[in-house]
Amino acid sequence: MLKIAVLTGAGVSAESGLKTFRDSNGLWEGHDVMEVASPQGFHKNPALVLDFYNQRRKQLLEVLPNAAHHALADLEKDHEVTIITQNVDDLHERAGSSNVIHLHGELLKVRSTFDESLILDWKQDLNIGDFCEHNHQLRPHIVWFGEAVPLMEVAMDIVARAEVLIIVGTSMQVYPAAGLIQYASYNTSVYFVDPNPSIRSSERVTVFAEKATTGVPKVVAALNS
Ligand code: APR
């Protein structure tokens, strides 16, 4: 039984039908990322931002986990696995992973703009005028650009203790998440799965330069062999 930390990004969900961020020139479903994913964007045009996340929420409810999500969930049968995802979708959970840390929040949750610890499950549209119990507007439970990443310390600790670190489908461009690899111990084996990998193979890093649905099962097979 190995202690395994898995860091995933948008690429792990790409083959489920959810677009990545940087594969489309910084445009996310046709929007400037800063307009729809920053506190300033929300202040400037809250209706646009809420509508954007309403569309994303609807889309999420129409897609399914893919072979990569399932292979990562299956790893739990033989190992102690924690998934640290930058994704706001729930595809790891739907595939059966039981320890999932969402560094950048969750699309199927909203929170109060008055008290950020007041978090609610939310599957329907979120509109202007949807208030928390203190009569303040609810907002998506998403870590926007410029906001703190509250679960970062937990994630650093998990990576530091891991014997194996698997990284899947991330451009490693967004900090602090991209810096997590620095917390891995010198003797941790690192596997990186991405068709356009930002890390090269080395003595401790094995790169599978391919899509998640083919690459992740190969990593799992290597760990179980
Ligand atoms: N399988 C695996 N990886 C893939 C696939 C696939 N089928 N398709 C694309 N990729 C890879 C790309 O090569 C790229 O390296 O997924 C990565 C996606 O990178 P980004 O779009 O930058 O997504 P991510 O790294 O998750 O972004 C980090 O940035 O916009 C913010 O908060 C948002 O969580 C997000 C963060």
Ligand 1: which atom is nearest the Cα of residue 212? Answer: 1
CATH 3.40.50.1220 maps onto the chain at 1-17+65-104+149-225
Predicted TM-score (pTM) of the model is 0.96
CA distance linking residue 81 with residue 178, whole number of Å: 19
Instruction: Provide the token pair at 75.
Output: 């790893």
Of the pLDDT bands very low, low, confident and very high (cuts 50, 70, 90), residue 209 is very high
Ligand 1 site, residue 13, Cβ cutoff 6 A: no
pLDDT at position 84, please? 98
Determine whether 129 is exposed, middle or buried from the number of CB atoms within 10 Å of its CB (0-12, 13-18, 19+).
exposed
CA distance linking residue 12 with residue 18, whole number of Å: 9
Instruction: Provide the token pair at 111.
Output: 């929170």
CATH 3.30.1600.10 maps onto the chain at 19-62+105-142
104 as an active site residue: the answer is: yes
Compute the distance from residue 206 Cα to the ligand 1 centre, in Å.
19
pLDDT at position 27, please? 58
Ligand 1 site, residue 96, Cβ cutoff 6 A: no
**Which of 194, 109, 120, 167 has its CA nearest to residue 143?**
109
Of the pLDDT bands very low, low, confident and very high (cuts 50, 70, 90), residue 20 is confident
- pLDDT above 70 covers what percent of the chain? 97
pLDDT at position 225, please? 82
Class of domain 19-62+105-142: alpha beta
pLDDT per residue as tens digits for the range 52-102: 999 999 999 999 999 999 999 999 999 999 999 999 999 999 999 999 999
pLDDT per residue as tens digits for the range 124-143: 999 999 999 999 999 999 99
Compute the distance from residue 95 Cα to the ligand 1 centre, in Å.
19
User: Looking at the domain that runs over 1-17+65-104+149-225, which CATH code has it been given?
Assistant: 3.40.50.1220
In the predicted model, is pLDDT for residue 25 greater than 60? no
Question: Quick check: 216 and 68 in contact, CB under 8 A?
Answer: yes
